[in-house]
Amino acid sequence: MIDETLSQVQHFLVVVGILIALLFLLVCIFWVVWRREGVRGDRCPYCKRPLRLGADVARSLAGIVNAFLQEESQLENPPIDFSLASYCPQTGRIFPNTVTGKERVILSWDFLKRCWPGTFISWGALSEEERGVVRLLHGSLDGFQTEHSSTHVAPESVKEEFSSLAPGPLYIDQKTKVVVGWKKVPGTYFEVLVVQQPKFQSLDETL
């Protein structure tokens, strides 16, 4: 009788031990996932969501993105090295050269200047006349977000209603008339930042 009782106690302790071990394992897995997804450095400047690593993007999708960039001017829009890029899971916007060797994301609003040197302001901060001039100098702004834009000059002052639009905001350097803006990559949910220089340097050249 005593042996049977001891055997039952031992079985009970074994079951309890297994349950504790499983619980500990689940806690460890949760902690690792939280560390990987939630603490990766800087967040998306638009929606403040944690960014994901470009290295996790399928090669086929990465190829589609870079094929799209090849259609743009090669000097201003080089292919993206996805091993060094991060992207926002909510907006699909890709930020090149933002991941360190330790898989930490370093990103701030200076990504515009790092994309192309200049002082960029929001497209919506321009007057209708100024926008018309820019359109003439560029010939076409197809693919950029020109319908809706924040009226705040500083890009970082954009309201959520404008930052979440697809494609994302368009910016312009008033001095050089270079525009930098997000374009949707067809066949994907990704967006890439595209630099476009004006085709003409003055309105006289457009005549």
Which residues on neighbouring strands pair with residue 194, listed in sequence order? 181
pLDDT at 1: 58
Q: In this model, does residue 34 exceed pLDDT 70?
A: no
The pLDDT-based confidence of 4 (bands split at 50, 70, 90) is low
Q: In this model, does residue 32 exceed pLDDT 90?
A: no
Q: Using a cut of 0.85, tell me whether the model's pTM lies above it.
A: no
For range 30-40, the mean pLDDT: 55
- Cβ(88)–Cβ(57) below 8 Å: no
pLDDT, tens only, 150-189? 999 999 998 888 888 999 999 999 999 999 999 999 999 9
Report the alpha-carbon distance of residue 44 to residue 123 in Å, rounded.
20
pLDDT, tens only, 61-114? 999 999 999 999 878 999 999 999 999 999 999 999 999 988 899 999 999 999
Higher-pLDDT residue of 16, 203: 203
Q: Which helix (H) or strand (E) holds 103?
A: none
Report the alpha-carbon distance of residue 206 to residue 136 in Å, rounded.
7
Domain-by-domain residue ranges, the chain?
A: 1-39, 52-206
3-class secondary structure per residue, 31-59: HHHHHHHHCCECECCCCCCECEEHHHCCH
pLDDT at 54: 95
Q: In this model, does residue 3 exceed pLDDT 70?
A: no
Residues 6 or more apart whose Cβ sits within 8 Å of residue 127: none
pLDDT at 124: 94
pLDDT at 80: 97
- Cβ(53)–Cβ(99) below 8 Å: yes
Q: Which helix (H) or strand (E) holds 201?
A: none
pLDDT, tens only, 118-156? 999 999 999 999 999 999 999 999 999 999 999 999 999
pLDDT at 159: 86
Q: Which two tokens stand for residue 94?
A: 């890709």
Report the alpha-carbon distance of residue 83 to residue 96 in Å, rounded.
9
pLDDT at 74: 78
| 132 burial via Cβ count (<10 Å: 0-12, 13-18, 19+) | exposed
Q: In this model, does residue 35 exceed pLDDT 80?
A: no
pLDDT at 203: 82
% residues pLDDT > 90 (the chain): 69
Higher-pLDDT residue of 46, 28: 46
